[in-house]
Amino acid sequence: MADKKWFTLSHEEVERELETSKQTGLNSEAVDKRKEEYGLNKLPEDEQTPEWVKFLKQFNDILIYILLAAAVVTFFLGQYIDTAVILLVAVVNGVIGYVQESKAEKALEGIKNMLSLEAMVLRGEQKAEVDSIEIVPGDIVILNSGDKVPADLRLFEEHKLKVEESPLTGESTSVEKQTDKLDEDTPLGDRTNMVFSGTTVSSGKARGIVVETGESTEIGQINRSMNEVEEIKTPLLKQTDKFGKTISVVILVLAVLLFIAGLLIHDYEWGELLLSVISLTVASIPEGLPAILTIILALGVQSMADKHAIMRTLPSVETLGAVTVICSDKTGTLTKNEMTVQSVVTREKAYTVTGLGYEPEGKILDEKEKAVDVAEENDLKELLTAAKTVNEADIYKKGDQWEVSGDPTEGCLITLAEKSNVDIETLAIQSKIPFDSEYKYMAGLVEESNLKKIYIKGAPDRLFDMAGLGSEERAYWEEKMSERSKKGERVLAVGLKEVSEATDRIGHDDVQSGITLLGLTGIIDPPREEVIEAIKVCKEAGIQVKMITGDHKETALAIARELGITDQDKVTEGRELDELSEEEIRSLVEEVDVFARTSPQNKLQLVGALQNNGHVSAMTGDGVNDAPALKRADIGVAMGIKGTEVAKEASEMVLADDDFSTIVNAVREGRRVYDNLKKTILFILPTNGAEALLVMAALMLGIEMPLTPVQILYVNMITAVTIALALAFEPLEKGTMSKPPRDPDERLLSPYYVFRIIFVSVLIGGAIMWINQGLLAGYDSQHLNTITLHSLVFAQLFHLFNVRNERHFSLNDQFFDNKAAFLVSGLLIVFQLLVTYVPFLSNALGLYPIELNYWVYPVLVGLGVFVIVEIEKFITHKVLKKIKVRE
Ligand SMILES: Nc1ncnc2c1ncn2[C@@H]1O[C@H](COP(=O)(O)OP(=O)(O)OP(=O)(O)O)[C@@H](O)[C@H]1O
Ligand SMILES: [Ca+2]
């Protein structure tokens, strides 16, 4: 169908052509049939990189090049076993890297599926949310502000629709749309009666008939994928990449120098010398490190997803751990978004309402607690009619639970109307002003017994202005509003305006004056209990929490105080921000925690100011106009439930449950992942350091090599791949969440860490030298090699338990929490026994099946390393603390 010019047809013709109905949509049989005929509504997957290319890519690494060069050299020296083992290591390393990368990719893929695009369609007379890949030609799609257009549509109904078509045309300004047919030669950018798959609705709403799906859509023909695949490399991994390159250069230079020194000082035979230098090179390369780091990140993303925080990019996992301020919406994030109207005030009377939740059971009582007859209360009756009419929500029973579809603020008004003892009418709306958080009200034009009027509901302060109240009247309403807001209730005002009979369209200009207030409704929205705890956690962790809400300042403050966000009375309104200079906002934002009546632009001002103050900010948002602030924030957080597609796309993280505590949990997870990445590096590098020292010492002293290249490779692989993996499962250290966030510019390897790596390398290397040259001097090389290998492995095994805790080792429950640490320790010991006593393996590695008493040495080296490093940690922390105190 792709060559059909749908825009040249009237929408009635399109309707006939596609055998559908604008009123009822397709029925399920038709949908099933068309799915078979046209296939799913998706673009072909991106040209997949073949698996073998992905595998070969693993070898495209300078460290591996060095290994391969070593293999070539050993081959020409006739050391075929060495060649084979070096090649084997390169291959094993490639396989591991490949498997890890596929795993990470799968995890991201799964998470992407969790974010699949939904679309609202009309099917069999019912509105329904469906996965957008299920959409077929002829479907009637309903678009709202913030939606992503799921297929190419021919519009037949629109209200102020504006669409951003940059994915298609490259133009970032929004295009206005209409529904009439167009000339055949209209270019793509001007086909205003169509909307195209992949573009987004920036404002307004519309309905259209699906004319093209999948590959036949315009975007499908351009063949650009809708979701670009995220890069797997994160800033941290890039940092380690660079680090790897630096190390390689250092190693190569060292190797050359050593080779020359060896020739000059000891006049070794050059072949033998070359072998030793190769040992050094191989020893110093941390082959397994990159793979381990990737898997730690991928596991982190996975565990965040399990906790309802869906990360859209891998680097954000690291950024999360550095967050210093969280800016949150109020409604639905800090509160439950379960609205109940508890009171109504009109010009003359005040009423209370019984019942909780959306269940339409309860009574409207007067001041004497007597059920009122709504038929006799004119203002109340009209208020209920207006509230029910200018309303797009619905309540329905699901099991024994009453639920709301649409905006809960509107749903509770339906429930209120249902509690009336007389039937409240829903009038037909002839023209409407949809709700927009910029304007904070919503209105509809209705006609009742030949009288035209506008019903309006929205923020009281806005409606007061429109009503042009006298000072006495204003004082009356302000007091009624304030009474309720101070209790944390959300107050909504309802009003009307009579208009001339000729009016058939309304806009914002028509409601700026002449409104008659019918009354106010006081709505409770209880805070989420778990948020109180989450906010305490933030405060302890040095993370500031700011409430940025569209609600009234007294309501905002009451809720903020209840949740513990602030204990002061400071609150700033959006319009006050508009008056301030950037400098002033920067200092204000450090002092005020509650911002009320804000517009989406205010959010952008606030993130900007926070960032200029050096903060790393997380910012929540749900609407289209929140997108700029979400993009600007270091971690944009979109709501999974009430958020729009545009908001999700602009953000780094999506909250599956819209809950503030989920953000805090994600930050905690971010800190854990970052700590474990650091610990892994701290753990792995001393293996290489110690080996390099041993090889260098042997060369310089002119003694026999303590390990063969094969043995060195074995040690590197076994420590990196088995023991280090345990660190991925290390729980968050106690006390991490009572420390301030890390400096975002902090280097992965702090000077202290560099010291620690050198210290432990020297410790292990020194201990082994002492055994070889002192205690067991004169023993045959097979014994010595075997004991050296076991000593290295045992030293690292014990060292793992040093690294698990930043401060000092203790036998708390956390120690036992990481089952993986014990599992790998057990496995490692079994491995060591196998390679020593199974003849086939010990031959391959060149090990000697040592007598039992020799095991004393490796165990003592391990224990010694453990104790000394613990002492070093203890002293260092004392010293560091002193330095800090003095500062
Ligand atoms: N459906 C609605 N119809 C009319 N007015 C509304 C509606 N929803 C909200 N309002 C009014 O607009 C104000 C701002 O609403 P908005 O959705 O921007 O923020 P919010 O939901 O109150 O708070 P938050 O930004 O914390 O989620 C509300 O305080 C209310 O007075
Ligand atoms: Ca909001």
- Here the CATH number for the domain that contains residue 469 is 3.40.1110.10
Is 182 inside any structural domain? yes
The stretch 377-400 carries a mean pLDDT of 91
d(C-alpha 421, C-alpha 406), whole Å = 25
643 CB under 6 A from ligand 1?
no
418 or 94, higher pLDDT: 418
Same domain flag for 609 and 572: yes
**Least confident interval from 39-53, 140-154, 231-245, 511-525:** 231-245
Is 302 inside any structural domain? no
Same domain flag for 690 and 598: no
Is 296 inside any structural domain? no
The stretch 771-794 carries a mean pLDDT of 88
The stretch 113-132 carries a mean pLDDT of 83
Gap from CA of 312 to ligand 2 centroid (Å): 22
d(C-alpha 375, C-alpha 676), whole Å = 68
Q: Which pLDDT belongs to residue 246?
A: 80
Phi-psi region of 664 (alpha: psi -120 to 50; beta: other; left: phi over 0): alpha
Is 621 inside any structural domain? yes
Question: How is residue 503 written in tokens?
Answer: 């009016």
Q: How many CA atoms lie within 13 A of 383 on its CB side?
A: 27
Residue whose CB lies within 8 A of the most ligand 1 atoms, among 145, 416, 435, 571, for a mutation test: 435
- pLDDT band, very low/low/confident/very high, at 337 (cuts 50, 70, 90): confident
141 CB under 6 A from ligand 1?
no
Over the stretch 690-718, which tens digit does the pLDDT of each residue have? Answer: 988 988 888 888 788 888 878 888 888 88
Render 200-214 in DSSP notation, one character per residue: EEEEEEEEEEEEE-G
CATH of the domain at 575: 3.40.50.1000
224 pLDDT higher than 80: no
For the chain, report the end-to-end CA distance as a whole number of angstroms. Answer: 74
- pLDDT band, very low/low/confident/very high, at 391 (cuts 50, 70, 90): very high
480 pLDDT higher than 90: yes
Proportion of the chain in helix, strand, coil states, percent, rounded to 5: 55, 15, 30
Picking from 493, 524, 555, the residue at the C-terminal end of a domain is: 524
SS3 10: coil
543 pLDDT higher than 60: yes
C-alpha distances out from residue 846 to 363, 684, 707, 712, Å: 88, 24, 10, 11
437 CB under 6 A from ligand 1?
yes
Same domain flag for 699 and 783: yes
**Least confident interval from 344-358, 656-670, 768-782:** 768-782
342 CB under 6 A from ligand 1?
no
Question: Amino acid identity of 357?
Answer: G
Q: Which pLDDT belongs to residue 381?
A: 95
Question: Amino acid identity of 116?
Answer: S
Over the stretch 557-578, which tens digit does the pLDDT of each residue have? Answer: 999 999 999 999 999 999 999 8
Picking from 597, 626, 658, the residue at the C-terminal end of a domain is: 658
Same domain flag for 688 and 727: yes
490 CB under 6 A from ligand 1?
yes
- pLDDT band, very low/low/confident/very high, at 116 (cuts 50, 70, 90): low
d(C-alpha 616, C-alpha 322), whole Å = 7
SS3 491: strand
Q: Which ligand is nearest to the CA of 333?
A: 1
458 CB under 6 A from ligand 1?
yes
d(C-alpha 887, C-alpha 884), whole Å = 5
Tally of structural domains, the chain: 4
Cβ-contact 416, 423 below 8 angstroms: no
Is 160 inside any structural domain? yes
Predicted structure pTM score: 0.78
Q: Express as a percent the part of the chain with pLDDT over 70.
A: 94
Is 729 inside any structural domain? yes
Q: Which ligand is nearest to the CA of 432?
A: 1
Which atom of ligand 1 is the closest one to the Cα of 622? 27
225 pLDDT higher than 50: no
409 CB under 6 A from ligand 1?
yes
Q: Which pLDDT belongs to residue 446?
A: 95
Same domain flag for 860 and 730: yes
Same domain flag for 534 and 447: no
Gap from CA of 211 to ligand 1 centroid (Å): 36
322 pLDDT higher than 60: yes
Same domain flag for 799 and 841: yes
Is 643 inside any structural domain? yes
Place of tokens 């090990």: 847
436 CB neighbour count, 10 Å cutoff: 18
ipTM: 0.95
Overall size of the chain counted in residues: 887
Among the listed residues 561, 591, 597, the one whose alpha carbon sits nearest the alpha carbon of residue 577: 597
d(C-alpha 42, C-alpha 215), whole Å = 7
Among the listed residues 348, 363, 342, the one whose alpha carbon sits nearest the alpha carbon of residue 521: 342
The stretch 178-196 carries a mean pLDDT of 89
The stretch 308-336 carries a mean pLDDT of 88
The stretch 415-428 carries a mean pLDDT of 94
Place of tokens 């993303």: 301
d(C-alpha 801, C-alpha 745), whole Å = 28
The stretch 772-789 carries a mean pLDDT of 86
Gap from CA of 670 to ligand 2 centroid (Å): 26
229 pLDDT higher than 60: no
Question: Which phi and psi (to 5°) does residue 656 adopt?
Answer: -65, -25
Nearest protein CA to atom 28 of ligand 1, as residue: 551
The stretch 482-510 carries a mean pLDDT of 93
Q: Which one of 333-337, 738-742, 757-761 scores highest in mean pLDDT?
A: 757-761
Question: Residue 414: beta bridge partners?
Answer: none
393 CB under 6 A from ligand 1?
no
357 or 405, higher pLDDT: 357
Render 779-834 in DSSP notation, one character per residue: --HHHHHHHHHHHHHHHHHHHHHHHT-SS----SHHHHH-HHHHHHHHHHHHHHHH
Same domain flag for 494 and 640: no
d(C-alpha 694, C-alpha 705), whole Å = 8
Q: How many CA atoms lie within 13 A of 201 on its CB side?
A: 30
d(C-alpha 20, C-alpha 29), whole Å = 12
Nearest protein CA to atom 6 of ligand 1, as residue: 458
Q: Which pLDDT belongs to residue 288?
A: 73
Which atom of ligand 1 is the closest one to the Cα of 407? 1
Q: Which pLDDT belongs to residue 210?
A: 95
Same domain flag for 507 and 550: no
Q: Which pLDDT belongs to residue 48?
A: 67
Q: Which pLDDT belongs to residue 46?
A: 58
Nearest protein CA to atom 12 of ligand 1, as residue: 440
Question: How is residue 426 written in tokens?
Answer: 């829903």
Gap from CA of 150 to ligand 1 centroid (Å): 28
Same domain flag for 210 and 257: no
DSSP state of 353: E
Over the stretch 248-282, which tens digit does the pLDDT of each residue have? Answer: 788 888 888 888 888 887 777 777 788 778 777 87
Same domain flag for 35 and 183: yes
- pLDDT band, very low/low/confident/very high, at 122 (cuts 50, 70, 90): very high
614: Cβ contacts below 8 Å, ≥ 6 apart: none
User: Residue 121 belongs to what H/E stretch?
Assistant: strand 118-123
- pLDDT band, very low/low/confident/very high, at 59 (cuts 50, 70, 90): confident
CATH of the domain at 113: 2.70.150.10
**Residues identified as active-site:** 329
549 CB under 6 A from ligand 1?
yes
CATH of the domain at 80: 1.20.1110.10
Q: Which pLDDT belongs to residue 232?
A: 45
Is 205 inside any structural domain? yes
d(C-alpha 667, C-alpha 700), whole Å = 50
Place of tokens 């080996």: 691
DSSP state of 123: E
Angle CA 323–325–327, to nearest 5: 120
Same domain flag for 555 and 417: no
Picking from 607, 626, 658, the residue at the C-terminal end of a domain is: 658
Q: Which pLDDT belongs to residue 744?
A: 75
The stretch 475-483 carries a mean pLDDT of 94
Residue 32, domain extent: 6-45+109-228
d(C-alpha 190, C-alpha 178), whole Å = 11
Render 76-92 in DSSP notation, one character per residue: HTT-HHHHHHHHHHHHH
Gap from CA of 575 to ligand 2 centroid (Å): 16
Which atom of ligand 1 is the closest one to the Cα of 490? 29
Nearest protein CA to atom 5 of ligand 1, as residue: 458
The stretch 457-469 carries a mean pLDDT of 94
Averaged pLDDT of the chain: 87
